[in-house]
Amino acid sequence: MSFGAPWLLLGLFGALVPIIAHLFHSHSRRRIQLSSLRFVPQGSTTPQRRLQDRGLLFLRILAWIAIALSLADARCQKSSQLQIEARPHDALLVLDANARAQHRRDEQSQWDRQRSAALDLLQALPPGSRAALAFLGSQLPPQPFQSDFTTLQTRLTALGEEELEQSPVPGLDRQSAIAIHERRLQLSGLFEPSPERPKRIYYIAEAAPRGLLQIKGSWPANIEVIPVPTREAQNALGSSGGGARSARQIGIASLRVAPPIATQPSTLRIEATLENYGSAPWTEELQLQLQVDGQTVSTQRTRFSGREPLKVRWNYGLEHEGGETAGPQAARVRLVNHRDGYAPDDQYFFWLSNPKALQVGIVNGDPSEQRGHDEVYLLTTALRSAFVPEKLSIIGFSPEALREAATGDPQSLDDLDVLIMANVVAPSKKLARFLEQRVRAGMGLWWTVGNRVSAKDYNQKALSLLPLSLREASYVATQAGATAPQSIGVEAPRGAHPLWRHNPGAVDLQGSSTRRMFLLTPDPKGQAQTALAFQHGAPALLSKNLGQGKIALLTTTVDRDWSDLALRPGFVELVRATVAWLGQGRPGGGSLFPESVAVGAPLPIPAALVEQNEVRVIGPKGYEQKIPPTLPDTPAPPLLLPRAGHYRVEIAGQKGARIAANVDRGESPPPQPAAAQQSPRPQKTETKLATQSIPIWPYCVAFALLCLLLESVLRRRSA
């Protein structure tokens, strides 16, 4: 047993007080004068000055001792599972202050557990060691290395949740999702250069995939990261798997706002997905609210068994102002009646707005009078069939018109969401750079090939705009004894590709026949993804991401020159899915930023945007960030979205943007991994087991109260 304040053990001498009081009470018992003492029964006399009511005295002494022990902060020592370096060393204690640190379980937050573990570690460090403190996911300043741990212990003790909430920079605290390897350089820089002294980073976090199990990356050779699970996790390690797993842990894992359908162009479909991170099975009635502009517009009650994710849907009609829908409305879905100790995933912020008409530009490189051989006709027909007319705007370009627009009036192409280059001669390098800039800003680019496409020119001038470099176009092999080239069909869409994420079964192109296609050079970097492939394995539709934009390449023609894809019923869905996916790079009607981001993740700003304009970010609870105009070719600081909520980005001279920030769902407390998978142990370090000092003052106080209660009962009965 150890004591936090040993000098307060002097209070144990106070146990003499009840003894003296009992003796004194015996000595000064009430004195009664009576002349007829001969009638008082003589047998009831006892000698004076002896302890009376020994039961009461015993209880009072026990209560006094318990109070003295609690004041002295009595702690019992317990050998823990903590492994620490046995030699004197420099120890950097890194506490996980990300969103998951506020997860409360058994009336104690993960943050408090981590603080306790850090205090235990400081006590257990070998003599001669130095220690420092750093906080992952918070802007709290680190505490430098020092030999006397008193300051660190005081700092840790004072770092309650409230102070963490009020860190110097509001935000990035308690809601971020930063992994330790992302701060590898900063943490390594805290060590002082002394090669002979061992350097250890004790990473104190939850034994979870987003906690201790995320240690990876290459650290400097003389620095070793030692995972330190919290006490609860240590107990779980000792038990047979998952002892600390919370029984009911529910959160809104994701939320999707589907575009309006043709029959109800102003009605949005909201779909929230609930997920259970705890144990199952059980059933609970949940209540979810949909709030728009601070007003609760709908409440749904649903029963959730926790076995499978549960989808809750709303249909919300946007308000109209003068025939057009109103501007973006701040909305959130809230889980009302569930308290599981982790609140950030009980709500999801988003913006509600009617997406503007998708602007699709089609550059026809090979116009034809025959509709069956005209790419523009086939694409336009498919697009008009796939999209609501009000939500689609198609602009046709000739290659020359595109070149002139790009060089003469580039702002006229600002609203272009998707550009389809259909059988176009390879663009000039200048045009290619222009297109690349647009794509990086979020525009979608879809290449379709044909006779006008030269692999050599494309590879020379626009290689960066292609998913893979082109080889020459080739025909499918002619069968033996036949003169006509053989045709080939396409395989079923590959569901792993995000293009088919929402409706992979709707594309039915298996009956198609393609006679000629461009072959591609395999990409060792693996940036391109195949969404559709021919039956012999050659890719038919590829894609890659470039900046915030996306690029797709169809390796055959859209018209009937090389393939009959355009005649197949699945062609409409192919075009719709491809254009819709390409248009996601500029969501929210051409916004510069994505509509939903994770809290704490820095959001880069296009350099061109802040070269001349000031950017202002207005967030919840009065948060505001101003980014002044920067010099040309100077990187702008990223946008910081510190808290979950709705943000408005105002750019001087331009239209603003709306961003909804939500806590990274990966921070939600995951199911406890199996004990064997939990915190990896360092093997190469000579370590020892640390001891934990468990405070027992609450038990002492409870025992003292119990003693006093019994004492009062006994006293009342004997009175």
Partner 1 sequence: MNPSIQRAFAELIPPKLFAALPHLRLPPLRRPRRGTQGQYRDPRPGGAMEFREHRRYQPGDDPRRIDWRAAARRDETITRIQEGQSQRPLIAVLDLHAGMNYGAIIPDISATASATPQSSDRATRGLFSFRGATNPVHSDPSAAPPLREKWQLARGLAALWAYQSLQQENPTAIALAKSIPERRPPRPSKNPLATLDYLEELARCIPHAASELAPCLRALSQELHQPNIVVLISDWLDLSNEHQDANEAQDACFLALEALSKQGHTLVGIEVLHRDEVEFRFEGHPKHARFEDPRGRLFAVETDIARVRSAYLSALRAHRHELQQRADALSMRWLSLRSDGDWISQLQGTMRSEPDSPPLEQSFKITPSGEPQ
| List of residues contacting partner 1 (CB under 8 A) | 25-26, 29-42, 44-48, 52, 718-719
Cβ-Cβ contacts under 8 Å for 252 (sequence gap 6 or more) = 272, 273, 274, 275, 333, 335, 345, 346, 347, 348
DSSP-assigned letter for residue 478: B
Q: Please, what is the minimum distance in Å from the beta carbon of residue 688 to partner 1? A: 59
CA distance 371 to 632: 48
Strand-strand pairing, 267-276 and 310-317: antiparallel
- Closest contact distance (angstroms) between CB of 52 and partner 1 is 7
Can you tell me the distance from the alpha carbon of 99 to that of 639, in angstroms, rounded to the nearest whole number? Answer: 19
Residue nearer to partner 1 on the CB measure, 57 or 343: 57
CB neighbours of 397 closer than 8 A, spacing ≥ 6? 361, 362, 363, 364, 405
Shortest Å distance, C-beta 43 to partner 1: 9
Cα three-residue angle 176-177-178, rounded to 5 degrees: 105
Smallest separation, CB 56 to partner 1 (Å): 11
Q: Determine the distance from the C-alpha atom of residue 506 to the mean position of all C-alpha atoms in its chain, rounded to a whole number.
A: 32
DSSP structure class, residue 715:
H
Helix pair 16-27, 54-71: axis angle to 10 deg: 150
Q: How many CB atoms lie within 10 A of CB 332?
A: 21
Cβ proximity to partner 1, 47 vs 195, nearer residue: 47
Residues 6+ apart with CB under 8 A from 465: 432, 435, 436, 439, 445, 447, 546, 551
In angstroms, give the least distance from the CB of 342 to partner 1.
Answer: 57
Kindly tell me which of 27 and 303 has the beta carbon lying closer to partner 1: 27
Q: How far is the CB of 32 from partner 1 (least distance, A)?
A: 5
Distances (CA, A) of 473 to 449, 489, 511, 656: 9, 17, 22, 45
- Tell me whether residue 36 or residue 150 sits nearer to partner 1 (CB atom): 36
Q: Give 16 or 51: the residue with its C-beta nearer to partner 1.
A: 51
Least distance between partner 1 and beta carbon 22 (Å): 11
Residue among 48 and 263 whose Cβ is closer to partner 1: 48
CA distance 470 to 539: 12
- Minimum Å gap between C-beta 15 and partner 1 is 23
Contact 559, 375 (CB under 8 A): yes
Helices (H), 331-423: 375-386, 399-408
Nearer to partner 1, 52 or 451 (CB): 52
Spatial neighbors of 261 by CB under 8 A, at least 6 apart, are 267, 269, 388
In 528-660, where does DSSP find H-type helix? 570-583, 587-590, 607-610
Nearer to partner 1, 38 or 525 (CB): 38
Q: Rounded to the nearest whole angstrom, what is the least distance from the CB of residue 75 to partner 1 in the complex?
A: 41
- Residue 46 CB, nearest approach to partner 1 (Å): 4
Q: Are 22 and 52 in contact (CB under 8 A)?
A: yes
Q: Which of 53, 182 has the CB closer to partner 1?
A: 53
Sheet holding 392-397, edge to edge: 392-397, 358-364, 418-422, 444-448, 549-554, 539-546, 529-533
Please list the alpha-helical segments (H only) found in 329-462: 375-386, 399-408, 429-440, 455-461
Q: Which is nearer to partner 1, 45 or 411 (CB)?
A: 45
In whole angstroms, how close is the CB of 29 to partner 1 at the nearest point?
A: 4
Contact 426, 458 (CB under 8 A): yes
Smaller CB separation from partner 1, 47 or 323 = 47
Considering beta carbons, is residue 42 or 79 the nearer one to partner 1?
A: 42
Please say which residue, 7 or 39, places its beta carbon nearer to partner 1. 39
Backbone φ, ψ for residue 233 (5° rounding) = -65, -35
Q: Specify whether the CB–CB gap between 441 and 411 falls below 8 A.
A: no
Q: Mark out the alpha helices in 441-527 (DSSP H runs).
A: 455-461
What tokens does 83 get? Answer: 């492994």
Those residues with Cβ within 8 angstroms of residue 510's Cβ, 6 or more apart along the chain or in another chain: 489, 490, 491, 492
| Residue with smaller CB distance to partner 1, 25 or 688 | 25
- Asked if 204 and 228 count as a contact pair (C-beta separation under 8 A), the reply is yes
Contacts of 704 (CB under 8 A, 6+ apart): 62, 63, 64, 66, 67, 70
Q: Length of the chain, please?
A: 719
The distance of closest approach from Cβ of residue 42 to partner 1 in the complex, given in angstroms and rounded to an integer, is 8
29 or 684: whose CB is closer to partner 1?
A: 29
User: Measured from the CB atom, is 41 or 653 closer to partner 1?
Assistant: 41
Query: Within its chain, how far is the Cα of 547 from the centroid?
Result: 21
> CA 135 to CA 168: how far, in whole Å?
13
Would you say 46 or 166 has its CB closer to partner 1?
Answer: 46
> Are the C-beta atoms of 135 and 95 separated by less than 8 Å?
yes
Choose between 30 and 303: whose C-beta lies nearer to partner 1.
30
Residue type, 314: W
* β-bridge pairing 199-205 and 223-229: parallel
